[in-house]
Amino acid sequence: MSESLMRLLLDTRRARKQGLAAIAERQRARFAEIVAFARANSPYYRELYKDLPERIEDTTLLPITSKKKLMARFDDWCTDRDVTFDKVNEFVNNPDLIGERFLDKYTINTTSGTTGTRGIFLLDDRSLAVAGAIAFRAMSSWLGAWDVVRIIAGGARMAMVNAMGGHFASAVAATRLRQKRGKAVQVFPVNMPLLEMVEELNRFRPVIITPYASMGVLLASEQEAGRLHINPVLMVLSAEGLPAREYDRIAKAFHTKVRHSYAATECPFLSYVCEHGWLHVNSDWVVLEPVDADYRPTPQGEWSHTVLVSNLANRVQPILRYDLGDSVLLRPDPCPCGNPLPAIRVQGRTADMLTFPTDYGKPITVPPLVFGTLVDRVPGIDLIQIVQTTPASLRVRLRPAAATDPNRVWQAVHNEITRLLIEYKLDNVTVERAEEPPEQSPGGKFRKIIPLS
């Protein structure tokens, strides 16, 4: 364990023990430091902050940023002059480089998101070290001594169920974990047929399993039906939110602890859940601001229109007052778990499952991320939205990228979706091309997958 990581581990533990005042002091100091660094080293932020005071501790003094604004000024946004969009784009377009370090010093994660703009995000080693320390904080709150004993006795076997084939955060993490831990980590692509996945999980017998939340729902149904029979010590769900009853159902099906977090590629260490279902924001390293549609602070106990995030660790691409687009509620009173970190609920991310009828009576459910990661592999897409218009039909709203052949892009999308449906034995589902473009939701997002109402 490196000295810097050990120092961060001690600091995160000390901050929580010392309470709100110590956490707030760390936040103020780190915010002022990252703003000063961004101003000194990023041409974009130097221009954006040119009329602001020399030292800034008040987040509300800063203008709002977004994925669209930052990606439009990619070269000027980055603080390392060796980082350019052309170099990064060449790197992320090479699947052989997934998990490798860019310029031998940065980790790259990509996301298409729901705002209509593709995101390319670089993480420096400091940010990764903070993420590691925060992950240890979360695991320490989730696991007891007996849980740790069971994990060690089970060979610490971990099963990851997530998107592969791109520079997604989960794919990069999975690639590196496999390189580091070998056969103790197995990755199950989210688009693997469910029956095959169940068979492989039964053989592997993981003690820790980390699926996307929507996949967790499907695996719980398989466990309840007796086809899946694994006994994990901990299940950590990611990527999507679920109703509280679904978390309870999954926990009951596996007789295990089910935990999750609310995070983003822009800030992977944003929060983690407690035993009471509240997400605790790691505010010693994050500033999270629930705001209304005019970016004014939302009162505690009320749902926000969106939320602004400032990542206090990452220096190569500073994320400051960044509009994340999710609606959150900040708890107005202390959480009963005793954790002094701010507690929130999030309703901006939900798992939209697509359920289709079959000729033999039993419906088939497909997780939304299976479609999302599938079409991410098709070049020439600026924006896409898959709408279930009837129980057995999908309508694809497509906005091709500039200087592409729309018909060729559509044919590639149609082929990929059709192939997926065949794999799931859903030959009865029709796929049609929409004349209308993708539509925004009231919250301003472009939902990739819209199930039948």
pLDDT of 173 higher than 70: yes
SS3 assignment for the chain: CCHHHHHHHHHHHHHHHHCHHHHHHHHHHHHHHHHHHHHHHCHHHHHHCCCCCCCCCCHHHCCCECHHHHHHCHHHHCCCCCCCHHHHHHHHCCHHHCCCCECCCEEEEEECCCCCCCEEEEECHHHHHHHHHHHHHHHHHHCCHHHHHHHHHCCCCEEEEECCCCCCHHHHHHHHHHHHHHHHEEEEECCCCHHHHHHHHHHHCCCEEEEEHHHHHHHHHHHHCCCCCCCCCEEEEECCCCCHHHHHHHHHHHCCEEEECCCECCECCCEEECCCCCEEECCCCEEEEEECCCCCECCCCCECCEEEEEECCCCCCCCCCEECCCCEEECCCCCCCCCCCCEEEECCCCCCCEEECCCCCCCEEECHHHHHHHHHCCCCEEEEEEEEEECCEEEEEEEECCCCCHHHHHHHHHHHHHHHHHHCCCCCCEEEECCCCCCCCCCCCCCCEECCC
**What confidence tens digit (pLDDT) does each residue in 118-152 have?**
789 999 999 999 999 999 999 999 999 999 999 99
Question: The whole model's pTM is what?
Answer: 0.81
pLDDT of 448 higher than 50: yes
**Sorting pLDDT into bands at 50, 70 and 90, what band is 2?**
low
**What confidence tens digit (pLDDT) does each residue in 17-40 have?**
998 999 999 999 999 999 999 999
Q: What is the mean pLDDT of the chain?
A: 90
**What confidence tens digit (pLDDT) does each residue in 388-418 have?**
999 999 999 998 877 889 999 999 999 999 9
Average pLDDT over residues 307-314: 97
**What confidence tens digit (pLDDT) does each residue in 263-284 have?**
999 999 999 999 999 999 999 9
**What confidence tens digit (pLDDT) does each residue in 97-111 have?**
999 999 999 999 987
